[in-house]
Structure 1
């Protein structure tokens, strides 16, 4: 069968691409190697920017998958210093990924996309008028264009002809999402902080953090760092993770830690040293291959925070727009508009300013500790950091970076004054 667009992968990036393309009247095929309800390990926080992209996609029904809302965050800095903040009007929607991903793919299907489950793309051929695809079930399809949305750990982008990842380009996270009396735990948090927070805990790894995110009837606990550092940790993975759990128990973030044995892990785009022109894979489009990369396959994860849903959803919409332009013009070179669009909409903030912030904060344990204390002691800096964590808009990294660079000597002088606990919460 022939389609205007074949999408490899049915996660958020692939589903967003399919939904946007089908809504524009394109015939769309999604080949999903697992199926609806397959899981991916991550924190599962849907930021302000991600929700904006969902609205642009016309995917309001996906809100049915929102478990609960977190209005702010608690950061535990090295030395057990505690920074609390919540900005009025901003929040995180918490989801279980298997539920959220399935719902988004169902919405794309309802818009007209055809979804084939249990179908991994095994072969891709390129001809003068389109691409031919063979899946693991023996299905053969042709499409005018291909979008690859298979995540960071899949080799399909390389087989299509895109540059491969190096270990230094990737991140690694591990942890558990376990049944838990989250209602009682959240009630205790609200009593302590006046709102429902997410928890980010620093000092266990050089590049990254330990997290605790509440879900309805579950708790998501994990740790993430670069793949390079993860490989160096080796057997110390468990040791660092247990240290995070014990600190969470000590600070009464978790009343029980026994349920959280490591059961899942995932690769994500990580520290981008040497990325060409600040593009994670050097390029995210090819007129010759008639293909685009979206989401984690393209590297669209924020270098400082590790948040990737906003990049997945935003890139899916922009990819569909570029494919539509190429189809209307009968010209594959129009795919170039995709890279220009994502750089303008969110890429510059992620990979110019976000990358600079990551290099500032994560270069060594000493720099991380001093940098976090410097931010903690300055209310304006904390508010800008909070806006970045919420992903309040696509300029948050730039705003925080410019503020920090212009005031760095003063911020460093204020670092010893941070104290043991600071709260700037507006709630």
Structure 2
């Protein structure tokens, strides 16, 4: 059976059949919800909606396991989303717990444990992104969602009368992304773009990246290293371009995350717009930074596993609106990456959880107009949860874009553990509104005072 026939069978049609007609003459839907992309956002959304009894069809252009650029480290915020979703994280399946952040800079080495909070676990996790995405997709399937791999979405289907997205055009592709079958139309009352930073689906609807929001770049690779079993997420806060003077720091950080399987994930993240005076070769910057590491860590070409890979980090709602004309944006497609630390998985899953609640309610609406009103609640829900925090993040980004600010913050902040406890809560978005702890109160107050834009 071809992938095209599989789509028809799994969505209730006949193999290679044309779209079915409903009672009003319009093509009947192939699912209640079409989700484009099976990353953390898409698979999370699919699992929640399938568990609610909705017919969910997820279209993924790749095949699992597939490579994705990521640090592989999950903060307690991301770990909470994994727990809420009900995804098991046993050590024997490659899930490694971590205790907190180890920060290095200005000659200081400071370990800050994850805070003890009622709303979050007191640990983080490490799991390779390829296995993580596969586990999420399988979890969505186990919950009743149809996840079709090697299925490329080529364009939205737009209702000429309303201008709303009512489906997509999709076709099967081979392992190299080449066409492997006939294109067909798939329809649903709700369509979700979970197709990442490039989001071809969002772009096809005229939703461009916002230039007033920050964009980062991450590069990483793996090494066979004795540091693979480190139970702290390690961040190096002093990055420089080759040839730069000691005080000329880049706005970003390097990381070393032990994967627990004999390898370490090593990489760096830098704000793109402010990365020095000219174009930065990020891969070369990573190599030069690694050359300064202790040789016993084996961060060298001889022990490197795979190539250096890079990806953009879309931050602070850098594509909006998050709902328009029948299309919802979740995760990286909606620019959900945390501008404080470059974390994306937690916010991909959180936005998907919020979207699932809204979509489930919308599908119960008595008519199309009521469904539309319900779907417009999604941008408001995301903004209420994250808008103020991301506004603070944009201020943070503008400050660390100045090398002198970055130098002073590193030199004078790290030697003060009490201050760094607050900083870690702010950077990782780990404050408890109900806590009486002074650091929690400060972080929560800042978020509430910041406009949610």
TM bucket, shorter chain = 0.7 to 0.9
- Distance, in Å, in 2 between the alignment partners of 1:265 and 1:15 is 23
Determine the structure 2 residue equivalent to 1:125.
157
- Distance, in Å, in 1 between the alignment partners of 2:283 and 2:311 is 15
Determine the structure 2 residue equivalent to 1:4.
32
Determine the structure 2 residue equivalent to 1:95.
127
Structure whose alpha-carbon radius of gyration is higher? 2
Determine the structure 1 residue equivalent to 2:119.
none
Determine the structure 1 residue equivalent to 2:17.
none
Following superposition, the deviation at residue 66 of structure 1 comes to: 4.6
Residue 103 and residue 394 in structure 1: after superposition, are their counterparts in 2 closer, same or farther (change >3 A)?
A: farther
Determine the structure 2 residue equivalent to 1:193.
none
- Whether contact under 8 Å (1:20, 1:57) holds in the other structure is yes
Write the deviation string for residues 241-260 of structure 1: whole angstroms up to 9, x where unpaired. Answer: 1332133327x7x2443334
* Residue ranges of structure 1 left out of the alignment (5+ in a row): 190-195, 273-278, 404-427
Following superposition, the deviation at residue 140 of structure 1 comes to: 2.2
Is structure 2 residue 323 aligned with structure 1 residue 323? no
- Whether contact under 8 Å (1:20, 1:317) holds in the other structure is yes
- Distance, in Å, in 2 between the alignment partners of 1:240 and 1:324 is 46
263, 284, 288: which one aligns with 2:322: 284
Write the deviation string for residues 202-238 of structure 1: whole angstroms up to 9, x where unpaired. Answer: 2225221111111022211111112334696546434
Following superposition, the deviation at residue 385 of structure 1 comes to: 2.1
- Whether contact under 8 Å (2:228, 2:257) holds in the other structure is no
Following superposition, the deviation at residue 394 of structure 1 comes to: 7.2
- Distance, in Å, in 1 between the alignment partners of 2:252 and 2:392 is 17
- Distance, in Å, in 1 between the alignment partners of 2:283 and 2:428 is 29
Is structure 2 residue 429 aligned with structure 1 residue 387? no
Following superposition, the deviation at residue 36 of structure 1 comes to: 2.0
Moved more, 303-312 or 255-264: 255-264
| Cα root mean square deviation, aligned | 2.9
- Distance, in Å, in 2 between the alignment partners of 1:382 and 1:104 is 33
TM-score (ref. length: structure 2): 0.76
321, 326, 350: which one aligns with 1:314: 350
Determine the structure 1 residue equivalent to 2:300.
257
* Residue ranges of structure 2 left out of the alignment (5+ in a row): 1-10, 12-29, 117-121, 173-182, 241-249, 434-438, 447-453
Following superposition, the deviation at residue 401 of structure 1 comes to: 8.8
Is structure 2 residue 146 aligned with structure 1 residue 114? yes
- Whether contact under 8 Å (1:5, 1:28) holds in the other structure is yes
Is structure 2 residue 427 aligned with structure 1 residue 399? no
Is structure 2 residue 210 aligned with structure 1 residue 204? no
Match of 1:245, SS state, is: helix
Residue 155 and residue 169 in structure 1: after superposition, are their counterparts in 2 closer, same or farther (change >3 A)?
A: farther
Write the deviation string for residues 375-424 of structure 1: whole angstroms up to 9, x where unpaired. Answer: 22333221122334554357789834968xxxxxxxxxxxxxxxxxxxxx
Matched residue count? 380
Is structure 2 residue 272 aligned with structure 1 residue 227? yes
Match of 2:144, SS state, is: coil
Match of 1:120, SS state, is: strand
- Whether contact under 8 Å (2:61, 2:150) holds in the other structure is yes
Is structure 2 residue 223 aligned with structure 1 residue 185? no
- Whether contact under 8 Å (2:102, 2:111) holds in the other structure is yes
- Distance, in Å, in 2 between the alignment partners of 1:61 and 1:228 is 37
Following superposition, the deviation at residue 136 of structure 1 comes to: 3.0
- Please state which structure has a larger fraction of its residues in helix: 1
- Distance, in Å, in 1 between the alignment partners of 2:200 and 2:193 is 10
- Distance, in Å, in 1 between the alignment partners of 2:356 and 2:385 is 15
Write the deviation string for residues 319-371 of structure 1: whole angstroms up to 9, x where unpaired. Answer: 1111112211132121121122222233322x1223333333x1211100111
- Distance, in Å, in 2 between the alignment partners of 1:62 and 1:39 is 22
Following superposition, the deviation at residue 25 of structure 1 comes to: 1.1
Determine the structure 1 residue equivalent to 2:412.
374
Following superposition, the deviation at residue 133 of structure 1 comes to: 1.1
Residue 176 and residue 397 in structure 1: after superposition, are their counterparts in 2 closer, same or farther (change >3 A)?
A: farther
- Distance, in Å, in 1 between the alignment partners of 2:280 and 2:404 is 23
- Whether contact under 8 Å (1:130, 1:142) holds in the other structure is no
Is structure 2 residue 403 aligned with structure 1 residue 365? yes
Is structure 2 residue 373 aligned with structure 1 residue 333? yes
- Distance, in Å, in 2 between the alignment partners of 1:352 and 1:398 is 18
Following superposition, the deviation at residue 21 of structure 1 comes to: 0.9
TM-score (ref. length: structure 1): 0.80
- Whether contact under 8 Å (2:65, 2:133) holds in the other structure is yes
172, 178, 195: which one aligns with 1:150: 195
Moved more, 66-75 or 255-264: 255-264
Greater RCO structure (CA 8 Å; 6+ sep): 1
Write the deviation string for residues 107-161 of structure 1: whole angstroms up to 9, x where unpaired. Answer: 1011111111111210112225861211132232101111101111233211123
